[in-house]
Amino acid sequence: MVNFSNKLTKDQIPGWEEYYFNYKMLKGRVNEYTEQTKEGTQYRRRVLKDFSKLLDDEIEKIVLFMIEQQGLIAARLEDLGKRRTRLQDIPLLQEITELREDYRSVGLDLVTLLKFVELNANAVRKILKKFDERLGYKFTDYYVRSRSNHPYSQLQQVFRHVDPIIDLITATADKLTNSTNFLRFLGQHALIAQADSTAGAEDEQHVGEDKYHLMSLVLNLANTFLYMVNTYIVVPTADGYATSLGAAATACGAVIGSMAVAQVFSSVYFSAWSNRSYFRPLLFSCVVLLLGNVMYAMAFDLGSLTILLLGRVLCGMGSARAVNRRYISDCVPPRIRMQASAAFVSASALGMACGPALAGLLQTNFSFYGLTINQITLPGWIMAFGWLVYLIWLWISFQEPDLGPDAKDFYEGSSSSTSTRYMEHEKMEQGLTEHLLPLEQDEEDDNGDDEHSETLSSSTATLRPASSVASAYTLLTPSVKVQLLIYFMLKYAMEILLAESSVVTGYYFGWDIGTVSVFLAVLGLSVLPVNAIVGTYISNMFEDRQILVASEMALLAGVMLSFKLTAEYTAAQYVCSAVLTFASAEVVEGVNLSLLSRVMSARLSRGTYNGGLLSTEAGTVARVVADGTITAAGLLAGEGRLLNATLLPALLVCAASIAATLSTYNSLFY
C-alpha cells in the first residue's frame, strides 16, 4: 500500500518542490469541507466555488513554472541551432561531440519536465476523485468540461503540453492560408466533427477511405440543396396561396411554418435511422417530399387549405439534414471533411437563395389535364419533379457504406465497441479524462482501494453518447445553454424577416412576387460573402466572444430599425434594416456555432441525440414559434400592425440573448 502524499513528496525533483501541486493542503481542505457539510455550516455552492478556486490557483502555479522551463529549453535549443549552423560550414570533431552532448542534456531536461507535469496531473486526478467520494458530488466531470477550453483556466496546459509540436504544426498550418480559416469557419456552421491530428488519425483515415464514395457525398449535398430550395420557394407566394383559398394573407406563417413543425420530429427519427443506414432514410425522404409537393400543388384545384398544410407537413417529415450531416461525419475521409462540411453549408445557403429566385421566374398561368399551373402551384410541381429526378439518381448511384457491427455499436452507445474514431472535441475532452482517470494505474490511493475496475467503468461511461433528450440536456454547460438560446434567437429573427416579407412589402410598398423573390435571393446569396469576411479577416483580429456580442448588438439594432414608428415607412428603411438584421444573424450563427462545435461535450458528437440534432431542434423550434407569431399577429392585429407586432417579441428575445451572453461572458470560450 502506497500513500500518495508520501509518493508525491518522494518523487519530487530537488529544487522544484515549491512548484508542485499542494496535494496535502487540498486533501486537508476536502476533509474540512466534509465535516462542515455534515454540520451544516457550509453550503454546496460555496464549497464548489472555494474548491474550484483552490484548484485553479494550484494549476496556474504549475503551468507558470512549466512555461518558464519551456522558455529556458527553447532558448537553449535556439542557441544549439545556431551552433549547428556554424558547424555546417566548419565541421570540428570536438565541437560536434560537445553539441551532441548538449542536445542530449536538453532532451533529458525535457523528459524531467514531462515527469514533473505527469506527477502533478496524477495529483489533480487524485484530489478530484477524493472530493467526489467524500462529498458525494460529480465534480470531476463538471470541472474538466468547464476548464478544458476556458479562457482563464490552465487545465488543458497541464494535459496537452506533452504534444506541443503537433499543436505548433496545427497553428502554423492555420496561418499558411486565409482560405483554410474561411473553410473551417464555414464548415463549423454544420456542427460536423472534424478530423484530429493526434494518435488514431491514421485509423480514422483508413476507415474513412474505405467508406468514401464521391457520388454518394454529392447526393447528400444535392439533398441538402433541394430541401432548402423546397423550404423557401413558397415564401414569395405563400400569402397569395392562402388568400386564394379563403384565408388571410398572414396565414402564410402557418403555411411556411407547418414544414418546420414536422421537422421538429423528423430530425429525431432521421438521426436515429442514420445509426443503421443512409440509403433507406434518403429514399424515404424523397418519396415523402415528392408526395408532399404534389399535395401542395393540388390544394389549389381542390380548394382546400387543409391539403395545402398537410402537403407542407409531409415536406417537413422528409427533412433528412440529420442524415446529410452524419454521412459527412461518418463516411468522408478526414483529409476532405472540412471541405465537405463547407460544401454542406454552401449548399444550404445556395438553396436558400435559389428557392425565392426560382419562384420569381415561375410567372405563368395555364391548365394541363384539368390541373391549374400558375405561379402559386408551380413551386409544388417543380419541386415534385425535382425530387422524382433525385429519387432516380439516388436509386442508381448511391452506395450504402458498410457500417459494420462495431461502428453501429459505437454510434449507438454499446460498451462493446472497439472503434477508435473519436471526434475533434472528444479528443480534447477524452485526452483530459485519460489523464484524470488513467486506464493503466497500478498504484493504490490513500485508502488502499484498487481503482482499476472503477476506472474502466468510468472511462466506458465517458464514451457513451446521450441516450435521450434529458441525458443530452445534462451534458450542457451553462455557456452551451446560452449558445443554444442565441441560436434560437437568430433563427427566430431570420424567420420573422423572411416569412412575413411578402406580406409586409406588398402592404407597404406594393412589391410583386418578382421583386420579393429578387430581394430574398439577394439576402440568401449574402451568406457566403459575409462568412468569407468574418472567417478570413474578422475572426483573426478579434476573439469569438467579442465578435458574438458585437454581432448580437448589430442584430438588435437591425430589429429596432425595422419598426414602423412614423407615418411614413419607406422601402429604403425596410431594406437597410433587413440587410443589417440578416447579415448580423449570419455572423452570429457562424461565431456561435464555431464556439459550440468546440465546447459541446464529446458524448454529443455521435449517437441519435447529438450536438447537431440539438442545434437543429433549437433552430427549428424557433422557426415554428416565429411562423406561429406571424399567423397569430395577423389574426389579432391585422396586416397594418403585423410588422410591429412580430418585431416586438423578436426584440425581446434578442435583448434576452444579449443579457445571457454578457452574464456568461467570462465563461465563454475563445
Please enumerate in sequence order all residues whose Cβ is within 8 A of that of 198, keeping only pairs 6 or more positions apart, or say none.
Answer: 163, 166, 427, 431
Q: Per-domain residue ranges for the chain?
A: 2-190, 214-400+469-664
φ, ψ for residue 647 (rounded to 5)? -75, -30
pLDDT in the model for residue 196: 46
pLDDT in the model for residue 503: 92
- The helix/strand/coil state of 55 is helix
Burial degree of 422 (CB within 10 A; 0-12, 13-18, 19+): buried
φ, ψ for residue 367 (rounded to 5)? -115, 145
- The helix/strand/coil state of 374 is strand
- The helix/strand/coil state of 200 is coil
Please give the grid coordinates belonging to residue 147.
476548464
CA distances from 205 to 115, 194, 196, 323, 604 (A): 32, 12, 10, 21, 21
CA angle 352, 257, 278 (to 5 degrees): 60
DSSP readout, 123-155? HHHHHHHHHHHHH---HHHHHHHHHSS-TT--H
φ, ψ for residue 373 (rounded to 5)? -115, 105
Say if CB 418 and CB 406 are below 8 A apart.
yes
Please enumerate in sequence order all residues whose Cβ is within 8 A of that of 61, keeping only pairs 6 or more positions apart, or say none.
Answer: 19
Please enumerate in sequence order all residues whose Cβ is within 8 A of that of 73, keeping only pairs 6 or more positions apart, or say none.
Answer: 106, 109, 110, 113
Please give the grid coordinates belonging to residue 146.
468547464
Q: Which of 611, 527, 574 is CA-nearest to residue 228?
A: 527
**Rg of the chain over CA atoms, in angstroms?**
29
Say if CB 252 and CB 506 are below 8 A apart.
no
Model confidence, pTM: 0.65
CA–CA distance, 636 with 424 (Å, rounded to integer):
49
SS3 assignment for 546-594: HHHHHHHHHHHHHHHHHCCCCCCCCHHHHHHHHHHHHHHHHHHHHHHHH
> How does DSSP classify residue 510?
-
Distance of CA 623 to the CA centre of its chain: 19
DSSP readout, 64-87? HHHHHHHHHHHHHHHHHHHHHHHH
CATH number of 214-400+469-664: 1.20.1250.20
Per-10-residue mean pLDDT for the chain, 670 residues long?
72 87 87 78 73 84 85 86 78 77 84 83 84 75 62 50 42 42 63 50 46 86 94 92 90 89 87 88 95 96 94 93 84 79 83 89 86 93 96 94 57 39 41 42 45 42 62 75 90 92 92 91 86 77 85 96 92 95 89 72 67 81 92 88 94 95 73
Say if CB 548 and CB 668 are below 8 A apart.
yes
